[in-house]
Amino acid sequence: MSTTDRTRTAVAAMLRGFTYDGRRAQQVEALDAPDSEEHILSLGAPAIGDAELPLDLTDDFIGRSARAWNSFVQEHGDLPGIVTVEGAGAFRIAKSGRASGDKTQSGGQPVAAERGSTMQGRIAVVTGGAQGFGLALAEEIAAGGATVALVDLNLDGAEASAADLNARFGAGSAIACAANVADNDSVAAMTDMLVARFGGFDLFISNAGVLRAGSVMSLSVQDFSLVTDVNYSAFFVCTKHASSVMRLQDAGYRARVAATAATGVTDNIDTLPAHYTTDILQINSKSGLKGSNKNGAYAGSKFGGIGLVQSFALELVEYGIKVNAICPGNFFDGPLWSDPDRGLFVQYLNAGKVPGAQSIDEVKRHYEKQVPLGRGCTGADVARAVYYIVDQVYETGQAVPVTGGQEMLR
């Protein structure tokens, strides 16, 4: 990413933080040039902070910009429509108009209909969002009134899924974005594109994953490395870039609140939260809670993911960023399990993971019998956990099991 792109992305995230009212922020869109002459706020040249960070601005620039923002709002009685920033371009401040779903607006998605306005007006990112758990989560989040970015290596699939969500839940429900989550440059480019479009995001769900089953004696080093790169290292890469955006949103919000308090205007200040609260979620696995026979690469990557979740949670809490994991049980109906060529049922049958099993049906019945609640996990089950974690502001660093009782916390 060029210095100009980094500066533009950092400024957009800061501006989105300025719009946060303690519950929701507005969308901020980067423009090549101002497209309106009304309600324009002009800011000076930004100063980059720590060059080793993916994104950073100096506290002095953020503070000066917050004071200018507040002065504009006090004079005009409204947010600026356009902000121009020397050397970084122009930005449109756009009020988010997405509506939360009742049973008709939510298209019948059960969790969105149950949970009201939790997701309304939020910007969410779901990696591995073209299919499976990722798409199921995106459906429930979009149905609840959020705008969801479906990030996937399979851009055609992501675009088709985004078009379907927009048709079902209304324009602006979803967009598609291509990225290789294990590649730093690809994730940086994806982050830049999304921040240029929206100004940042409120919820980042690291869902993309792969599985290669096999004995430690027979699994290839290449397959082990692939699983580790996508399931473990990619969570680090995605968190590195997502947290940089979220930190600047929080910095913008806190600077605006501080600038307001410094003027002696205290109306509602005491009721505002200390931070712009955001969430990073890893979709982990029950295999992150208990070892898995002849599936060590996958289980090891998921155990490691929980270690990252706990460590990142301790580090990022000072920026209002919660980091948690959800550990689903087996999603038998999704492509991870049911794909006829590379699905887990086929892999486990071929690897001899279920002694005596001679068919895919026998492998499936073996796993169904292990669930106390008698069925596999569904997208709605995991979506309920996502909504809970977003709602619960007093929780971070947790690994929440959604396994039908198959794995229980100790």
Residues whose CB falls within 8 Å of the CB of residue 375, separated by 6 or more in sequence, listed in order: 368, 404
With tokens 């004079």, the residue in question is 75
With tokens 């027979």, the residue in question is 218
Tell me how far apart the alpha carbons of residues 194 and 55 are, in angstroms, rounded to a whole number: 14
Domains and CATH numbers, the chain: 3-325 (3.40.50.720)
- Would you state the structure tokens that stand for residue 41, as one six-digit string? 């706020």
Determine which helix (DSSP H) or strand (DSSP E) holds 256, and give its type and residue range: helix 234-262
Tell me how far apart the alpha carbons of residues 147 and 162 are, in angstroms, rounded to a whole number: 10
Residues whose CB falls within 8 Å of the CB of residue 159, separated by 6 or more in sequence, listed in order: 176
pLDDT, residue 62, reads 96
- Would you state the structure tokens that stand for residue 104, as one six-digit string? 């008709």
* DSSP secondary structure, 314-331, as one string: HHHGGGTEEEEEEEE---
Q: pTM (2 decimals)?
A: 0.92
Beta bridge partners of 400: 326
With tokens 């998921």, the residue in question is 302
Tell me how far apart the alpha carbons of residues 122 and 262 are, in angstroms, rounded to a whole number: 29
- Would you state the structure tokens that stand for residue 148, as one six-digit string? 């969801």
Determine which helix (DSSP H) or strand (DSSP E) holds 282, and give its type and residue range: strand 278-283
pLDDT digit string (tens) for 98-127?
655 444 455 567 776 677 689 999 999 999
Cβ–Cβ under 8 Å, residues 244 and 53 = yes
**What's the Cα-to-Cα distance from 149 to each of 146, 178, 266, rounded to whole Å?**
10, 10, 37
Cβ–Cβ under 8 Å, residues 27 and 96 = yes
Find, among 235, 27, 258, the residue nearest to 146 by Cα.
Answer: 27
| pLDDT above 90: percentage of residues in the chain | 73
Tell me how far apart the alpha carbons of residues 376 and 403 are, in angstroms, rounded to a whole number: 8
Tell me how far apart the alpha carbons of residues 138 and 145 are, in angstroms, rounded to a whole number: 11
Find, among 207, 206, 179, 209, the residue nearest to 194 by Cα.
Answer: 179
pLDDT, residue 104, reads 44
- What are the DSSP E strand ranges found in 335-402? 399-402
pLDDT in tens, the chain (410 residues): 677 788 999 999 999 999 999 999 999 999 988 877 778 999 999 988 888 888 899 999 999 999 999 999 999 999 999 999 998 999 999 876 565 544 445 556 777 667 768 999 999 999 999 998 899 999 999 999 999 999 999 999 999 999 999 999 999 999 999 999 999 999 999 999 999 999 999 999 999 998 888 889 999 999 999 999 999 999 999 999 999 999 999 999 999 999 999 887 766 788 899 999 999 999 999 999 999 988 899 999 999 999 999 999 999 999 999 999 999 998 888 777 888 888 889 988 998 989 999 999 999 889 899 899 988 999 899 999 999 999 999 999 999 999 999 988 87
Tell me how far apart the alpha carbons of residues 359 and 348 are, in angstroms, rounded to a whole number: 10
pLDDT, residue 102, reads 42
328 torsion bin: left (phi>0), alpha (psi -120 to 50), beta (else): beta
Determine which helix (DSSP H) or strand (DSSP E) holds 175, and give its type and residue range: strand 174-178
Cβ–Cβ under 8 Å, residues 122 and 152 = no
- Provide the 10 A C-beta neighbour count for residue 111: 26
pLDDT digit string (tens) for 139-183?
999 999 999 999 999 999 999 999 999 999 999 999 999 999 999
pLDDT, residue 333, reads 82
